[in-house]
Structure 1
């Protein structure tokens, strides 16, 4: 047996031992693990409901009006950019329709 063959046989045995040391505990944990159900926890439901109601109600209107006012003030500065109009429109659309979209996406994923 040559030195190269001897080194490669030691390397493969060490590799197998190291792999087994990682695989066996992972397999044991997989077999012992219990079932997890996503979406059954209601810890933050109250906060989510309040925040959603705020954005879809008067809070969303206030945010949109403030964004529109900032756009008008920047228009009064004399330089016109598309962002001065697009940002308030985007904020209004985002506040009005963004919350239901995000909520439905999260519900669909979970």
Structure 2
């Protein structure tokens, strides 16, 4: 019966190539990221400022009033159904307060955190 022989040990220089290749595979992306990457500042991006301004203007203006009136109408319809629950009054009041004062509070908190 013939037993297969083990391959001969690789010379010292051949064993060093995989380690060198691994180092090159790691170093090349890092070097490219350092050379190509620019400076990033948190909160300096103004991409969504027009959308944020339009949305806050909508909620603080007529849109907020419409949302509050619709919420109040829903509460009144629920009251007219014959059963009373505190949520039927509290939800429209909460929506009105949230729309009226919540938007400036949230935007100032987000601006302060960022």
TM-score exceeds 0.5: yes
Which residue number in structure 2 is paired with residue 109 of structure 1? 113
Aligned to 1:57: 61
Deviation string 1:53-104 (CA, Å, 9 cap, x unpaired) is 0000000000000000000000000100000000000000000011101101
Q: Once superposed, which parts of structure 1, at least 4 consecutive aligned residues long, lie more than 4 Å away? A: 32-35
Superposed CA deviations along residues 38-64 of structure 1, whole A, max 9, x for unmatched, are 111111111100000000000000000
Q: Distance in 1 between matches of 2:87 and 2:40?
A: 46
In 2, Cα distance between the equivalents of 1:80 and 1:105?
36
CA RMSD of aligned residues (A): 1.9
Q: Distance in 1 between matches of 2:87 and 2:113?
A: 33
Which one has the largest radius of gyration?
A: 2
**3-state secondary structure, aligned to 2:96:** helix
Question: Which is helix-richer, 1 or 2?
Answer: 1
| 1:42 counterpart = 2:46 | yes
Q: Secondary structure at the match of 2:83?
A: coil
Partner of 1:81: 85
1:34 Cα deviation from its structure 2 partner: 6.0
Question: Partner residue of 2:71?
Answer: 67
Runs of 5+ in structure 2 lacking a partner?
Answer: 1-26
CA distance in 2, matches of 1:34, 1:71: 54
